[in-house]
A and B are shown apart, each in its own frame.
Chain A
Amino acid sequence: MSTRMFGARIERNIDPKLLRGEGAFVDDIPLSDALHVAFLRSPHARARINAIDTAAAKAHPGVVAVYTCDDIGALDVEMPLLIPHPSMTNPQTQRPLARGDVHYVGQTVAMVVAVDRYTAEDAAAMIEVDYAPLAVEMDMIRALQDGAPRVHASIPNNLAAHFVQSSGDPDGAFAAAEHVTRITVQVDRSTAAPMECRAVAARWEAVTGELTVWDGTQAPISVRGGLASVFGIDEDKVRVIAPDVGGGFGQKVLLFYPDELLVPMAAMQLGRPVKYIEDRRENFIGSSQERTQIHTIELAALKSGEVIGLRDFFLHDTGAFIPYGIAVAQVASTSIAGPYRIPNILVEFKAVYTPTVQVTPYRGCGRPQACFAIERAMDQLAQELGLDRFEIRRRNLIADNQFPYAREGLLFADGLKVTLDSGQYGKALAMAAAELGAESFAAAQAKALSEGRYLGLGLACYVEGTGLGPYEGGHVKIHPITGKVYVNTGLSTQGQGHDTVFAQIVADQLGVSPQDVIVVEGDTKAFDWGVATFASRAAVVSGNAIHKTAVTVRKKVLQAAANMLDVDIDSIELRDSAAWVKGSNRFVPLAAIATASNPLRYAFNKAAQAATQFAPASKHDGPPLAEGEAPGLEATDYYSPSQSTWAYGVHAAVVEVDPGLCTVKIRKYVCIHDCGNMINPMLVEGQVMGGIAQGIGGALYEHLDYQADGNLANASLMDFLVPYATEIPDVSILHLETPSPLNPLGVKGVGEAGCIAVGAVVASGVEDALRPFGALKFHQVPLSPTMIADALERAGH
């Protein structure tokens, strides 16, 4: 047998291309005679538009067209509400170009199409808009009050959604509590900041009636469906390609952004390719953001530290629109009990409109907020009960033999009951303690303190529901000429390494090298059933679909090879791109089997000579292709998960706080995580580490600074502080592998895992480090030097 590829640390197939600068990101795709788009965006958070004058812009040399809402015909409607939910009292979505009102700084008001981007931007600046600015309220709590300035004139109190879920008997639990702790915490607004901003290009072929759209999206098939619907053309006449995409992290799963509709429209109207390449400022003021939630969480506990009840009420900032429904808030609300048994839960949220960029999922999608709430509450409870922070968690973790652990009454973002399927939570906690050196930390802390250094231990556990449905598909085909295996799935990659992990899955079934498995995804002409890349689902959902398909192709290969080699199927083994008679030198290459499995008329090469209708790989009487058989070695299958599969982990750190400079340095960081069976541990670690780095950004640096007038003061990478290599410490990542019982590969998702716990870990550590100054509280992230200075000042330092 060949070496098993599933589980191997193999290098990525895609890397040489990317390293040579041969990647094909949207703006790299050569489109001859292309026109370029620039948008005019609102400078006001709320305003009435009295008039728009585009005359000067239209007259500017090099300008081909200028569009306002009056010029876009049937597109001048509110864009889709992607995920409807009855909790949304007044769902509002954006129009491609503002009509009448603007609702946030950055909203698209007009679109210029010109010969190049420079000219388009010049012309956009010539558009005169007469705005009547309106009052704004940026604070969610005040925005909910009667009489508050409205983001949408027709919606009082700015309430977008209100949702309550409960599990067990929370009132009974609080009545029985021996101790109740209560805490209010906040996570602030951030953004994905992918290194490649969003990008869309479109070409309309008038002769064939085909629209091709290159879109740096996480959801090409869904975009295609939407475009076909909006433009009233056959789905088969619309091809959406997500080529190489420079990071997504959720921001690119939303459809539609205005440009995704307007660029194809312009290409169809103007008869030339049209391109829109978002710049960094536009990414800050135009593309989705996430995070701000204010949680007030109460834990009902026994003196032993066992938590018997949880009540959480939170406000969720949804920005000016709610196109992705309540997904972010719902994920937060259903992740609120973390890895703990807590059998009685009441969780309620209000989603609030604010005059800011719309909120849709950013890596983590509500989980970092939920984790911050429950973990900070657990720390406070431990403190109040005089328990060690590891110990209180140990006493509440779901035990290994309690899985599957259902939270009756809580529906996850897939509409299904929250059921944590498997794990070794206690072991993960013990590993974190051991790896960090928790036992000896108190001594180290005391010694440091004697030297005037303030060390703190931070700790947090998390769970992550991953691999959401509804489904994905896989197509596997052995190429008859090269013997290489072509694999397709419908979702798309933004750097995760799908092409390699999917290749590993297939390689094991077909006995080929992963380098000989060519994965093509994100192109609706290659495969057009499926959903999108989100919710840490690609490995789980597409991975299992591809696995199932590869198993089917394997059976076909074995049968055909047995026929060709005239032995029993059991005597065949697949390795080195060939089928071998076990224990012999007799073999037939996969390419030859694939060719022979396709009854041919014309012998165009040597292998084909053996595959003419007189010598097929199929052994039967009758026509060359038996009834019910398909030619070639090929199959398509689908995987639809019965529910989400829950990954989890424990993060712990030693931080050092300088009370003079109010800076935080992470001295040691430990991550124990479990995403089930790992297809490629090197890539898993890459995902986890990337998540941790984003988590560190969210814990200490990345804060979108909206001013009282609704302007975003730090809409640049100069001012919004994405960590460099100098800000990210070494991290010790240890794996547990508890196979998911829910899918054939036993895998769970890992894409978002790393970022979830970091804010809670850092706040926990800083609190611990500054204990000598009193019981300072850090209930908000990112945790800025100003917050530390303020806390120290309040404590009299």
Chain B
Amino acid sequence: MTRPMKQAGSARSGDAQVDVELTVNGEAIRRSVSVRMLLSDFLRHELGLTGTHVGCEHGVCGCCTVLIDGKPGRSCLTLAVQANGYSIRTIESVAAADGTLHPVQQAFKECHGLQCGYCTPGMVMNVLGRFEEEGPLDLSDDGIRELLSGNLCRCTGYLNIVAAVRRAAELLGRS
């Protein structure tokens, strides 16, 4: 189900270009990018991975969250050139190849943890990143809210997202 990535296009502006090599969703990528291109724009417009959304471009809303070497990070506050040598995971890599939802995604669906779906990829990547970290998770109500405190959602009022994190923990056998 994963969309094929876009092939490299010709440079379009007069910006200085730099070659970058990075891994995106397990695939080695080598591109020449503008020195000021944001990682979010690189993923979306250069690679066609449009599941990563951009909500504020100043690092507040969390829509653009991706995993950078396994850790949730803001792709709108990261330049593409800074991602050189890193491994990036985006929402497109989360479900199984046949489209079967990952337990975190499944939990959001079961709990009605999304409405418009714009913040959702960032939410899922953040939650996924935290679940994949070593060590215990604080799954108390406050702990889950804290876990979500870098992501804005304007639709749901969060309660169903809190429930989804709890449900994901169940599905993943985390306590």
Do A279 and B51 touch across chains, with their CB atoms under 8 A apart? no
Do B51 and A22 touch across chains, with their CB atoms under 8 A apart? yes
Q: Assuming the A-B contacts A689-B159, A726-B149, are A495 and B116 also in contact, with contact meaning beta carbons closer than 8 angstroms in the complex?
A: yes
Do A279 and B57 touch across chains, with their CB atoms under 8 A apart? yes
A731's partner among B54, B95, B159 (CB-CB below 8 A) is: B159
- B-chain residues with CB within 8 Å of residue A409 when the two chains form the complex: none
Minimum CB–CB distance from A779 to chain B (whole Å) comes to 26
Do B155 and A27 touch across chains, with their CB atoms under 8 A apart? no
| Complex interface residues of chain B between 117 and 169 (CB less than 8 A to chain A) | 117-121, 124, 141, 144-146, 148-162
Q: Assuming the A-B contacts A195-B63, A195-B116, A716-B56, are A27 and B44 also in contact, with contact meaning beta carbons closer than 8 angstroms in the complex?
A: yes
A230-253 vs B, CB cutoff 8 Å, 1 = contact: the mask equals: 000000000000001111010000
B1-43 vs A, CB cutoff 8 Å, 1 = contact: the mask equals: 1010000000011110000000000000000001011000000
B78-111 vs A, CB cutoff 8 Å, 1 = contact: the mask equals: 0000000000001110110001010001001110
Do B61 and A690 touch across chains, with their CB atoms under 8 A apart? no
Instruction: Give Cα A195 to B156, complex, Å.
Output: 12
Whether, in the assembled complex, B52 has its beta carbon less than 8 Å from a beta carbon of chain A, the answer is yes
- A-chain residues with CB within 8 Å of residue B105 when the two chains form the complex: 16, 19-20
Instruction: Give Cα A692 to B120, complex, Å.
Output: 20
Do A116 and B101 touch across chains, with their CB atoms under 8 A apart? no
| Complex interface residues of chain A between 2 and 29 (CB less than 8 A to chain B) | 11-12, 14-16, 18-23, 25, 27-28
Instruction: Give Cα A12 to B14, complex, Å.
Output: 46
A488-506 vs B, CB cutoff 8 Å, 1 = contact: the mask equals: 0000001111000000000
Do A280 and B55 touch across chains, with their CB atoms under 8 A apart? yes
Whether, in the assembled complex, B48 has its beta carbon less than 8 Å from a beta carbon of chain A, the answer is yes
Do B53 and A115 touch across chains, with their CB atoms under 8 A apart? no
Q: Assuming the A-B contacts A495-B155, A724-B148, are A19 and B53 also in contact, with contact meaning beta carbons closer than 8 angstroms in the complex?
A: no
B95's partner among A19, A27, A686, A691 (CB-CB below 8 A) is: A19
Instruction: Give Cα A14 to B154, complex, Å.
Output: 18
Minimum CB–CB distance from A9 to chain B (whole Å) comes to 9
Minimum CB–CB distance from A299 to chain B (whole Å) comes to 32
Do A725 and B145 touch across chains, with their CB atoms under 8 A apart? yes
Instruction: Give Cα A754 to B155, complex, Å.
Output: 11
| Complex interface residues of chain A between 102 and 120 (CB less than 8 A to chain B) | 114-116, 118-119
Instruction: Give Cα A15 to B112, complex, Å.
Output: 9
Whether, in the assembled complex, B114 has its beta carbon less than 8 Å from a beta carbon of chain A, the answer is yes
Whether, in the assembled complex, A460 has its beta carbon less than 8 Å from a beta carbon of chain B, the answer is no
Instruction: Give Cα A728 to B160, complex, Å.
Output: 12
- For B159, the closest partner residue in chain A by CB is A689
- B-chain residues with CB within 8 Å of residue A496 when the two chains form the complex: 115
Instruction: Give Cα A19 to B123, complex, Å.
Output: 10
Minimum CB–CB distance from B109 to chain A (whole Å) comes to 4
- A-chain residues with CB within 8 Å of residue B55 when the two chains form the complex: 195-197, 246, 280, 717
Do B116 and A194 touch across chains, with their CB atoms under 8 A apart? yes
Whether, in the assembled complex, A694 has its beta carbon less than 8 Å from a beta carbon of chain B, the answer is yes
- For B14, the closest partner residue in chain A by CB is A61
| Complex interface residues of chain A between 561 and 589 (CB less than 8 A to chain B) | none
Instruction: Give Cα A119 to B1, complex, Å.
Output: 34
B54, B112, B124, B145 interface centre (most CB from chain A within 10 Å): B112
Q: Assuming the A-B contacts A279-B57, A717-B61, A725-B162, are A118 and B112 also in contact, with contact meaning beta carbons closer than 8 angstroms in the complex?
A: no
| Complex interface residues of chain A between 666 and 725 (CB less than 8 A to chain B) | 682-683, 685-686, 689-694, 716-718, 722, 724-725
- B-chain residues with CB within 8 Å of residue A728 when the two chains form the complex: 157-159
B13's partner among A61, A685, A694 (CB-CB below 8 A) is: A61
Instruction: Give Cα A716 to B76, complex, Å.
Output: 15
- A-chain residues with CB within 8 Å of residue B109 when the two chains form the complex: 11-12, 15-16, 19
Minimum CB–CB distance from B37 to chain A (whole Å) comes to 7
Do A725 and B149 touch across chains, with their CB atoms under 8 A apart? yes
Do A717 and B154 touch across chains, with their CB atoms under 8 A apart? no
Minimum CB–CB distance from A218 to chain B (whole Å) comes to 12
Whether, in the assembled complex, A62 has its beta carbon less than 8 Å from a beta carbon of chain B, the answer is yes
- B-chain residues with CB within 8 Å of residue A783 when the two chains form the complex: none
A23's partner among B99, B117, B159 (CB-CB below 8 A) is: B117
Instruction: Give Cα A789 to B121, complex, Å.
Output: 40
Instruction: Give Cα A114 to B14, complex, Å.
Output: 11
Instruction: Give Cα A245 to B53, complex, Å.
Output: 12
Q: Assuming the A-B contacts A16-B99, A280-B57, A717-B60, are A22 and B152 also in contact, with contact meaning beta carbons closer than 8 angstroms in the complex?
A: no
A246's partner among B15, B57, B118, B146 (CB-CB below 8 A) is: B118
At the interface, is chain A mostly helix, strand, loop or mixed?
loop
Do B145 and A119 touch across chains, with their CB atoms under 8 A apart? no
Minimum CB–CB distance from B145 to chain A (whole Å) comes to 4
Minimum CB–CB distance from B168 to chain A (whole Å) comes to 12
Whether, in the assembled complex, A772 has its beta carbon less than 8 Å from a beta carbon of chain B, the answer is no
Do A280 and B56 touch across chains, with their CB atoms under 8 A apart? yes
Do B152 and A724 touch across chains, with their CB atoms under 8 A apart? yes
Instruction: Give Cα A240 to B142, complex, Å.
Output: 44
Do A21 and B51 touch across chains, with their CB atoms under 8 A apart? yes
Whether, in the assembled complex, A730 has its beta carbon less than 8 Å from a beta carbon of chain B, the answer is yes
Do A195 and B154 touch across chains, with their CB atoms under 8 A apart? yes
Do A246 and B116 touch across chains, with their CB atoms under 8 A apart? yes
- B-chain residues with CB within 8 Å of residue A796 when the two chains form the complex: none
- A-chain residues with CB within 8 Å of residue B90 when the two chains form the complex: 21
Instruction: Give Cα A718 to B76, complex, Å.
Output: 14
Q: Assuming the A-B contacts A22-B3, A718-B58, are A693 and B158 also in contact, with contact meaning beta carbons closer than 8 angstroms in the complex?
A: yes
Whether, in the assembled complex, A193 has its beta carbon less than 8 Å from a beta carbon of chain B, the answer is yes
- A-chain residues with CB within 8 Å of residue B92 when the two chains form the complex: 20-21
Instruction: Give Cα A515 to B134, complex, Å.
Output: 38
Minimum CB–CB distance from B41 to chain A (whole Å) comes to 8
Instruction: Give Cα A730 to B157, complex, Å.
Output: 10
Whether, in the assembled complex, A628 has its beta carbon less than 8 Å from a beta carbon of chain B, the answer is no
Whether, in the assembled complex, A30 has its beta carbon less than 8 Å from a beta carbon of chain B, the answer is yes
- A-chain residues with CB within 8 Å of residue B152 when the two chains form the complex: 195, 717, 722, 724
Do A21 and B50 touch across chains, with their CB atoms under 8 A apart? yes
- A-chain residues with CB within 8 Å of residue B119 when the two chains form the complex: 195, 246
Do A686 and B115 touch across chains, with their CB atoms under 8 A apart? yes
A21, A193, A196 interface centre (most CB from chain B within 10 Å): A21
Do B121 and A21 touch across chains, with their CB atoms under 8 A apart? yes
A15, A495, A722 interface centre (most CB from chain B within 10 Å): A15
Minimum CB–CB distance from A44 to chain B (whole Å) comes to 24
Minimum CB–CB distance from B66 to chain A (whole Å) comes to 11
B94, B115, B159 interface centre (most CB from chain A within 10 Å): B115
B154's partner among A18, A118, A682, A722 (CB-CB below 8 A) is: A722
A715-751 vs B, CB cutoff 8 Å, 1 = contact: the mask equals: 0111000101110101100000000000000000000
Instruction: Give Cα A496 to B12, complex, Å.
Output: 39
- B-chain residues with CB within 8 Å of residue A21 when the two chains form the complex: 49-52, 90-92, 94, 121
Q: 5 tightest CB-CB pairs across the interface, nearest first?
A: A21-B51, A495-B116, A246-B118, A18-B117, A693-B157
A interface with B by C-beta (< 8 Å): 11-12, 14-16, 18-23, 25, 27-28, 30, 61-62, 114-116, 118-119, 192-197, 244-247, 249, 279-280, 494-497, 682-683, 685-686, 689-694, 716-718, 722, 724-726, 728, 730-731, 754
Other A-B contacts than A27-B50, A725-B153, 20 sampled, CB-CB below 8 A, are A14-B117, A15-B117, A18-B120, A19-B105, A19-B109, A20-B51, A20-B91, A62-B12, A115-B12, A116-B12, A246-B53, A686-B155, A690-B155, A716-B60, A724-B149, A724-B158, A725-B148, A726-B149, A728-B159, A730-B141
B interface with A by C-beta (< 8 Å): 1, 3, 12-15, 34, 36-37, 44, 48-58, 60-61, 63, 90-92, 94-95, 99, 101, 105, 108-110, 112, 114-121, 124, 141, 144-146, 148-162
11 contacting pairs across A/B (C-beta < 8 A): A20-B101, A30-B48, A118-B36, A193-B154, A195-B119, A693-B156, A716-B56, A716-B58, A725-B151, A725-B162, A728-B159
